Structure 1
Amino acid sequence: MAKTANKKELILKSAYHVFKEKGLEDTRVSQIVKEAGIAQGTFYLYYNSKMDVLPDLAEQIISNYTQYLATYGNVKAGLEANLRLAIDRIFEVNQLDRTIPSIVYAGITRSGDIDKWQVIYRPLYDLVAKYLEFAKENGEIREDIDAIYFSEFVISLIESTARGMILFQHSSAEVEKYKEELLSFTLNAVSWEPAKVL
């Protein structure tokens, strides 16, 4: 069992390096197995194609966010503190590794298996939803907020903004300003009086 896990982990590490160097389009399975030092047939014991590796790489990224928030977040610290933590971490990961998150998210758009992506993101959504539920109970935010749906909006908004910072190569000062505005926007979205939809 440990040997199997090690081979899969080796494939993931190798895929990470090759994707980072070559990009999504130019990466070949043959390059991944060469980097891993394994037979090509071994790759196909775990994955059908290079695209099938992307959900596992995504899971590592999302798990990184979730573990960080679980370790350093505190539901009692309040929604603002926990959202700031989430924004900072997601921006930091995207700034440190500008290639892999973009490649993984490109894979999301190409994947027909949306359920797989929902499973990958669910622990992170659930954690953010806990922050929102606690904030509702304490009167920090509106009672009509659906914590599950809103957690998905928030994570999507943070990730897309973080990727935009990379795409348009903003300065550090601009990135910090975007982070503050993103936090302000999100807090205002849950705290103002709900508009009536006609």
Structure 2
Amino acid sequence: MLGKPCLLSEKTYAIIMTESQSMEGWSIIEEREVINSKKNRIREAAIKVLSLKGLEKTKVSDVVKEAGVAQGTFYLYYESKNALVPDIAEKMLLHMLKEMKGRISEEEPFRNQLKNIIEITFEITYLYRDVLGLCYSGMATTGFFQEWEQIYIPYYEWLEERIEKAQRRKDIRQDMQPSMIAKILVELMEGIAEQAYLFEGKKDKVVDYQKDLMNFSITALKCE
């Protein structure tokens, strides 16, 4: 029977309906959490397996065994093992962006913001050093270069906004496009951090690399 039960008061009926709607909302949230949990398990398992075996030798069966899920579950989220690569790269980048948003105030002078951005870039590069090589080799062999650019869009936009504000405050030079400055800075910072941790393995030189990078950047941008 549709409609309001005749034995309930207006107030009681309103409470029941509110709680019912709340429960429906929670069921949706819980379902999403289960989905995210399974996908995260697969992704974390993939990072572990890929780090040990590499992309070529890793099989989907290896990943699902490590994740503790059925092979069919894997294909609900990824069309192939190659599709893991941009997803892992996105997780790494979102982690870095979250750190930057949480630790860097836009009210600070841009010089201070830049110093913190450099430090966080090095921190995240070190944290994901075992995975970064896989991401790059995976991008090269699977052709996910377009996805790679898409992954970076939120980071570029965030940094570009900071640069625009710095230009309005005349903290830095105003004769360059913020979008170009953002891309140059990102490539420069990540390139040097990767050189330190991935290729040269000179952790003892990290402080010197950061100082040189900072000095070069503030000179190029004419930071006040």
TM over 0.5: yes
Q: Distance in 2 between matches of 1:110 and 1:86?
A: 30
Q: Distance in 2 between matches of 1:150 and 1:110?
A: 29
What are the superposed Cα offsets for residues 79-107 of structure 1, whole Å, 9 maximum, x if unpaired?
A: 22111111111211222332112212333
Contact 1:69 1:86 in 2 (8 A): yes
Equivalent position of 1:105 in the other structure: 136
Aligned 1:4-43 pairs, distance under 5 A: 4-43=35-74
Q: Distance in 2 between matches of 1:34 and 1:103?
A: 20
4+ residue runs over 4 A deviation: none
Q: Distance in 2 between matches of 1:74 and 1:47?
A: 37
Equivalent position of 1:164 in the other structure: 195
Contact 1:78 1:131 in 2 (8 A): no
Identity across the alignment (%):
31
Equivalent position of 1:121 in the other structure: 152
How many residue pairs align between the two structures? 191
Contact 1:145 1:190 in 2 (8 A): no
**Are 1:52 and 2:80 an aligned pair?**
no
Q: Distance in 2 between matches of 1:168 and 1:49?
A: 32
Pair 111,155 (structure 1): closer, same or farther in 2 beyond 3 Å: farther
TM-score (ref. length: structure 1):
0.88
Equivalent position of 1:69 in the other structure: 100
User: What is the one-letter code of the residue matched to 1:101?
Assistant: L
Report the CA distance between 1:6 and its aligned residue. Answer: 2.2
Contact 1:141 1:191 in 2 (8 A): yes
Q: Look up the SS of the partner of 2:64 in the other structure.
A: helix
Larger radius of gyration: 2
Equivalent position of 1:83 in the other structure: 114
Q: Distance in 1 between matches of 2:137 and 2:112?
A: 30
TM-score (ref. length: structure 2):
0.78
Which deviates more, 93-102 or 80-89? 93-102
Contact 2:86 2:144 in 1 (8 A): no
Equivalent position of 1:136 in the other structure: 167
Q: Distance in 2 between matches of 1:112 and 1:23?
A: 17
Q: Look up the SS of the partner of 2:107 in the other structure.
A: helix
Report the CA distance between 1:71 and its aligned residue. Answer: 0.7
Which deviates more, 54-63 or 17-26? 17-26
Q: Look up the SS of the partner of 2:202 in the other structure.
A: coil
The structure, 1 or 2, with the larger RCO (C-alpha pairs under 8 Å, 6+ apart) is 1
Report the CA distance between 1:159 and its aligned residue. Answer: 1.1
Pair 127,161 (structure 1): closer, same or farther in 2 beyond 3 Å: same
Q: Distance in 2 between matches of 1:11 and 1:93?
A: 21
Equivalent position of 2:13 in the other structure: none
Contact 1:47 1:53 in 2 (8 A): yes
Q: Distance in 2 between matches of 1:106 and 1:175?
A: 24
User: What is the one-letter code of the residue matched to 2:143?
Assistant: G
Equivalent position of 2:183 in the other structure: 152
Which consecutive residues of structure 2, in runs of 5 or more, have no partner in the other structure? 1-30
Report the CA distance between 1:113 and its aligned residue. Answer: 4.1
CA-based RMSD of the aligned residues comes to 1.8
User: What is the one-letter code of the residue matched to 1:117?
Assistant: W
Q: 2:216 aligns with which of 175, 185, 188?
A: 185
Pair 88,6 (structure 1): closer, same or farther in 2 beyond 3 Å: same
Which deviates more, 94-103 or 26-35? 94-103
Which consecutive residues of structure 1, in runs of 5 or more, have no partner in the other structure? 193-198
Report the CA distance between 1:127 and its aligned residue. Answer: 1.5
